[in-house]
Structure 1
Amino acid sequence: MERLTSRENALIKEYRKLSASRRHREETGCFVLEGARLVLDAAQSGIALRTLLISDEGERYPETEKLKGLVQRCFSIPKELAAYISDTEHPQGIFAVGEMPKAKPLTMEKGSYLLLDELQDPGNLGTILRTAEAMGVTAVVLSAHCPDLFSPKVIRSTMGSGWRQKTVRVENLAESIAAWQKQGLRCYAATLTPEALPLQKLPVGDCRGIVIGNEGNGVSREVIEVCDGEVYIPMRGAAESLNAAAAAALCMWELSGRGYLPG
């Protein structure tokens, strides 16, 4: 296995650039990820791995040998170089460059849908995707300016759910909702307006979606106007609102039927 030792090596420079730049990720169709379990989970979920970088410390993980057989090319790196390219404080020493899966259009079918209107925080997005998988959400829809699905922070916070949970990004969320309504979707905006229904009274249906808005501004007026209605989360005490990821979790719990049990 070839050993890389210089920060000036082209592969090291490329890894750092992919880690830092959304534009570069989109231009190349590649992204980076790190950590033994996360990298192996990606490979086993169908993500094509182009490059694997393993530090001396990374060799101790049992996943390492499996990964060597699942990647196009593999290199060893010293501990100092691992610290240089890592996005975490205590790196495990396993890094990979993967290929983004090709995006597929969304056609409405029976199920539950969570739609995100200009969400800002990558950590919130990652937590939402992880919860969506756990709740059996059919698809998560992202508006154009939601965080990059392949940013290191989003990938880390999904804990692998990002590979498995169906997600779709759309240019115009309001227009997309209107088109999906013609296919049977009934969509509700999560708001705090007097017109909103309590979440527990969400109308029944076999193709429903809830829109979670921007952390600071909520759901946009354009999106609210195209929705079939509005819902709010009843709260006790002096709390006026919830974190976007917490609100999304409650909405997905309601969409899942609350009494749903896997099996």
Structure 2
Amino acid sequence: MLEIIKSRKNEEIKLAAKLVDSASFRREKGMFVVEGARLCRDAALSNIEIVSAYFTGTAQTKYNDYITQIIQECRSYRLIEEHVADALSATKHNQGVFCVCRIPEQHHSMMDMKALGTYIALEQIQDPANLGSVLRTAEALGVSGVLFLGDCCDIYSPKALRSSMGAIFRLPFYIEKDTSFAIKELKRKTFAVFAAVPSEQAQSVLETDFSKPTVMLIGNEGNGLSQTAIDACDACVTIPMMGRAESLNAASSAAILMWEMMRGRIDMQLEESV
């Protein structure tokens, strides 16, 4: 019979709860918490190391298929009471399923990137919901990977994980603090590097050639791209807008730009196949 954790003061629960609340603690311990039956299952099937899993009796019945897959991939698992689940949740209404996971020791290196495909690069993104949404859209559209430049928000925060819908476990991503170095390296690898800006002087994304391997840079929610990034890119592109809004948030901009980038490559492939 499974051991049942009945107290929020249990040491495992206290550690997991702190991982949910603190980005610095996640970095210190090299672990993060995944919440939700499907998201935990996605982590289990994506070669993410699961240190421990916790689920309520209600969840065990309701999400039995998911939990069966989860416990096959984790070191240990425990039943928890409902009020203990509330202590681990970052949402108002939780499903009662949680996994403590190990942050991968080594992310993909920019040095290993090949000049193939289409990438999106996010500079100084601070909203975890925007970050997660970009990852989800990138995976859906078949983008090759995502670069995080400068000091972006924690990609393992509960909100980023939830918004990504598991894309963060499957989509290659690259972290580089030095934006200038990243752009120089991308150019050295013969990528076409574009800066997305809300400017009428920039070329329209509708008129931009995405036939070459491409990286599109998008700035943060308040200030956009740094001038350093803009100056280092090959060209600036903009999304033409007929309405009154002067700009879009990072996730909306990224979705439109990625769609147009991928549409251009699809059109090119169709022409080549004729």
Q: Give the TM bin, normalised by the shorter chain.
A: over 0.9
Partner of 1:236: 242
1:201 aligns with 2:207: yes
**C-alpha separation between the residues in 1 aligned to 2:265 and 2:194?**
21
**C-alpha separation between the residues in 2 aligned to 1:99 and 1:39?**
13
- Measure how far apart 1:91 and its partner are: 0.9
**C-alpha separation between the residues in 2 aligned to 1:150 and 1:259?**
31
TM-score norm. by structure 1 comes to 0.95
Equivalent in 65, 69, 82 of residue 68 of structure 2: 65
SS in 2 for 1:168: strand
For 1:103, the aligned partner's letter is H
Conserved in 1, the CA contact under 8 Å of 2:211 and 2:264? no
Equivalent in 169, 179, 188 of residue 173 of structure 1: 179
Q: Larger deviation: 61-70 or 218-227?
A: 61-70
Equivalent in 112, 115, 122 of residue 116 of structure 1: 122
Partner of 2:101: 98
**C-alpha separation between the residues in 1 aligned to 2:148 and 2:172?**
11
1:75 aligns with 2:75: no
**Per-residue deviation, residues 178-207 of structure 1 (Å, max 9, x unmatched):** 121011011111112343100111134321
Mapping of 1:20-59 within 5 angstroms? Answer: 20-59=21-60
SS in 2 for 1:87: coil
**C-alpha separation between the residues in 2 aligned to 1:237 and 1:74?**
53
- Measure how far apart 1:85 and its partner are: 1.6
Equivalent in 212, 216, 229 of residue 223 of structure 1: 229
**Per-residue deviation, residues 81-123 of structure 1 (Å, max 9, x unmatched):** 1112211111111111011122120223211111111111100
Conserved in 2, the CA contact under 8 Å of 1:108 and 1:185? no
SS in 1 for 2:39: helix
**Per-residue deviation, residues 208-231 of structure 1 (Å, max 9, x unmatched):** 111111111111100001000100
Conserved in 1, the CA contact under 8 Å of 2:193 and 2:214? yes
Conserved in 2, the CA contact under 8 Å of 1:108 and 1:184? no
**Per-residue deviation, residues 126-148 of structure 1 (Å, max 9, x unmatched):** 00000000111111111131111
Q: Larger deviation: 188-197 or 227-236?
A: 188-197
Bigger helix fraction: 2
**Per-residue deviation, residues 21-66 of structure 1 (Å, max 9, x unmatched):** 1111112211101111110111001111110111121111121222
Equivalent in 129, 140, 150 of residue 146 of structure 2: 140
TM-score norm. by structure 2 comes to 0.91
**C-alpha separation between the residues in 2 aligned to 1:204 and 1:150?**
31
**Per-residue deviation, residues 1-38 of structure 1 (Å, max 9, x unmatched):** 21211221110110011111111111221110111111
For 2:121, the aligned partner's letter is L
**C-alpha separation between the residues in 1 aligned to 2:69 and 2:140?**
27
Conserved in 2, the CA contact under 8 Å of 1:52 and 1:73? yes
- Measure how far apart 1:247 and its partner are: 0.5
* Structure 1: runs of 5 or more not aligned: none
**C-alpha separation between the residues in 1 aligned to 2:221 and 2:208?**
22
Partner of 2:89: 86
SS in 1 for 2:263: coil
Give the CA RMSD over aligned residues. 1.6
For 1:180, the aligned partner's letter is L
- Measure how far apart 1:259 and its partner are: 7.2
Identity rate of aligned residues, in percent?
36
Cα 1:122–1:12 shift into 2, 3 Å: same
SS in 1 for 2:193: strand
Conserved in 2, the CA contact under 8 Å of 1:113 and 1:140? yes
SS in 1 for 2:6: coil
